[in-house]
Amino acid sequence: MSAPRTVIVAAFVAVASLGLAGCGENQQVTVYKQGKYQGKPDTKPWDSPEYGGDQAKWERAIETRTQGQNEYVRIGG
């Protein structure tokens, strides 16, 4: 096979593959699944830099804060 012919065949293959790729029909709209959260995932509060994934430490901090609202515990009663 001569060199110019090889180039023509290669160009044809490239154009054909590009053209066929354009025929692909990708989903471009959001598909809603009834009753299922569709948004972005969220992280857990204990995954924050302050707690570094230590759930027990976070729960202790929240418990302390919650009991801070109880003046019978905070200042005695």
Partner 1 sequence: MARMKFLCDAERCIECNGCVTACKNTNDVPWGVNRRRVVTVNDGVIGAEKSISVACMHCSDAPCMAVCPVDCFYRTEEGVVLHDKDLCIGCGYCFYACPFGAPQFPQAGAFGLRGKMDKCTFCAGGPEKDNSEAEFKKYGENRLAMGKLPACAEMCSTKALLGGDGDVISEIYRQRVLKRGRASDALWGWSTAYGAPPKQGATK
Fill in the per-residue mask, 19 to 38: x = in contact with partner 1 (CB under 8 A), - = not in contact: -----------x-xxxxxxx
CB of 19 to partner 1, least distance (A): 35
Going by C-alpha positions, the residue among 76, 73, 75, 51 that lies closest to residue 62 is 51
72 binds partner 1 (CB under 8 A): yes
77 binds partner 1 (CB under 8 A): yes
Segment interacting with partner 1 (CB under 8 A) among 3-11, 12-20, 21-29, 49-57: 49-57
Place of tokens 């924050």: 48
Site for partner 1 (CB under 8 A): which residue of 5, 22, 42, 76? Answer: 42
Residue 61, classified by CB atoms within 10 Å of its CB into exposed (0-12), middle (13-18) or buried (19+), is middle
DSSP assigned state of 54: -
